[in-house]
Amino acid sequence: MSEENYMRIIDLRGKKLTRAEMLEAMPRAEMGTNEATELVQPILDDVKARGAAALRDFAEKFDHIRPENLRVPVAAMKAAVDELDPEVRAAIEESVRRSRAVSASQVPAPFHTDLAEGARVSERWIPVQRVGLYVPGGKAVYPSSVIMNVVPAQAAGVESLAIATPPSRNNADGLPDKTILATCAILGVDEVYAVGGAQAVAMFAYGAKGSEPQDGEILCDPVDKITGPGNIFVATAKRMVSGIVGIDAVAGPTEIAIIADKGANPSWLAADLIGQAEHDELAGSVLITDSEEIAEQVQEDLKYRVPRTEHSERVNTSLRGRQSGIILTDDIEQSIDAANAYAAEHLEIQTADPDAVIAKIRNAGAIFRGPYSPVPLGDYMSGSNHVLPTSGTARFASGLGVHTFMKPVEVIEYDEQGLKTLAARVNAFAVSEDLPAHGESVLSRFIDDPYNKETIKEQEEQAGLR
């Protein structure tokens, strides 16, 4: 890699790539969940067997603190609200307000379809009963993730919400970060655990029995679904318990792609790439442009900006990593093709005609239209959700929302005449699949002896089924 440039160049100009070649050309971080499996399995097994005792041991090992209260006392959460900086509280409350407004609009309505007289199929949307929400706390604290998980779950009607987040090393009592606790209290969630990492996923999946008097006999009941982002060990644990409980997704490192043309502001592009790189050394920052001049200007702006940002070392590692790069294209159409192949978690569109570009985007976790809709707006306060598909999974997956916490369930309602009209056809279908008892189940409602195959047609005719 050239020392002159922060980001490597992926030059697609003049190339006619197949779909497979285009996918292969995209910069991507390695997930590495397979390597983490052998480290995570003993954690899952231990928490399943020993419950709260194992959770305390792992907190001491990984977080270097042994929490007295694994379940956060409600008084500590109320105190956190009282101590919260008024400006931060105002920002949190505005984020909640906007998120609630969008989530309320997402709630799906039941519907029914009448197929014939006495033949109706309807669909109900039923909330998941109990959900475990994971909120990370590694390189940064994420009260925003509390909002993004809790608000749509509440809008969906989930009746039991539990939150797990790591204990803070700055808290002598072994409780989580106070801003996270205050956010939970503002949202009305009082079941919060000072538990992080793969052990939190195990607690949600299997439940955890208490080990100290303050835990009670049962510290935490198992949940039906686990949502929320986390590090490689959290992602691996979620993948391993999937099937025992539902999960939203196995999240990889966060990422941004920006489609920009010659009219884009290179300083803003550089700032947006840096903003995403700040998350993690493995974060992906990708610029897709048909303007070599813009690419060069962005590289120059990075040289000026990266050393001046607080987490410059982390940003530098991210931007120079194999998961980041500037993709040069022949034209806007090839830029769109590259963006669809990359399937970014966050996709910014900074072009002369953003609506024309957006109309052709098939794969993105969320789309940020125009220069005044940068990704950090979505991280905190746009009203959209920032829990989004990563690692190219936006080709088939969507971000977290109200639908994540609801199940569509069909209700089949046929009366006697509705079933009678189809009885002979259902039987014929069943016999063709060599499942005659299926047909006999239906015919039993209209004829005396569905097991007498020699007279079956005659019986059907007499019953008016033919």
Question: How many domains does the chain divide into?
Answer: 3
131/230 same-domain check: yes
Q: CA-to-CA distance for 374 and 110, rounded, in angstroms?
A: 35
DSSP strand pairing (255-260 vs 346-350): parallel
Q: C-alpha dihedral over 294, 297, 301, 302, to 10 degrees?
A: 70
The answer to the question of whether 372 is labelled as a binding residue is no
224/323 same-domain check: no
pLDDT at 1 over 60: no
Residues 6+ apart with CB under 8 A from 306: 6, 274, 312, 315, 316, 319
Report how far Cα 447 is from the mean position of its chain's Cα atoms: 52
Each residue's pLDDT tens digit, 321-379? 999 999 999 999 999 999 999 999 999 999 999 999 999 999 999 999 999 999 999 99
The answer to the question of whether 231 is labelled as a binding residue is yes
pLDDT at 388 over 80: yes
191/178 same-domain check: yes
**Which pLDDT does position 33 carry in this prediction?**
58
Task: Tell me if 4 is assigned to some domain.
Answer: no
Task: Tell me if 439 is assigned to some domain.
Answer: yes
The answer to the question of whether 199 is labelled as a binding residue is yes
Task: Tell me if 23 is assigned to some domain.
Answer: no
Per-residue pLDDT band for 138 (boundaries 50, 70, 90) equals low
Each residue's pLDDT tens digit, 167-204? 987 777 889 999 999 999 999 999 999 999 999 999 99
Give the CATH number for residue 85.
3.40.50.1980
DSSP state, 71? Answer: B
**Which pLDDT does position 230 carry in this prediction?**
87
Backbone angles phi, psi at 126, to 5 degrees: -110, 130
Beta bridge partners of 127: 406
436/383 same-domain check: no
Task: Tell me if 7 is assigned to some domain.
Answer: no
The answer to the question of whether 64 is labelled as a binding residue is no
Task: Tell me if 388 is assigned to some domain.
Answer: yes
- Model pTM score: 0.91
Tell me which of 341 and 4 has the higher pLDDT.
341
Percent of the chain with pLDDT over 90: 91
Query: Which range of residues forms the domain containing residue 379?
Result: 252-394
Each residue's pLDDT tens digit, 200-216? 999 999 999 999 999 99
Task: Tell me if 21 is assigned to some domain.
Answer: no
113/262 same-domain check: no
Each residue's pLDDT tens digit, 265-306? 999 999 999 999 999 899 999 999 999 999 999 999 999 999
| Degrees to nearest 5, angle at CA 433 with 427 and 437 | 50
Closest CA to 277 of 419, 375, 158, 393: 375
282/217 same-domain check: no
180/153 same-domain check: yes
Per-residue pLDDT band for 252 (boundaries 50, 70, 90) equals confident
Q: CA-to-CA distance for 204 and 160, rounded, in angstroms?
A: 12
The answer to the question of whether 214 is labelled as a binding residue is no
Helix (H, G, I), strand (E, B) or coil at 325: strand
Q: What residues are annotated to the active site?
A: 345-346
204/56 same-domain check: yes
264/353 same-domain check: yes
Amino acid code (one letter) for 207 = G
Q: Record the tokens describing residue 188, joined without a space.
A: 């009305």
Mean pLDDT on 245-256: 92
Q: Record the tokens describing residue 452, joined without a space.
A: 């007498």
pLDDT at 3 over 70: no
The answer to the question of whether 451 is labelled as a binding residue is no
144/260 same-domain check: no
Task: Tell me if 208 is assigned to some domain.
Answer: yes
234/302 same-domain check: no
The answer to the question of whether 134 is labelled as a binding residue is yes
Mean pLDDT of the chain: 95
Residue finishing a domain among 362, 394, 426: 394
363/429 same-domain check: no
The answer to the question of whether 379 is labelled as a binding residue is yes
Task: Tell me if 431 is assigned to some domain.
Answer: yes
Q: Record the tokens describing residue 361, joined without a space.
A: 């985007």
Tell me which of 31 and 115 has the higher pLDDT.
115
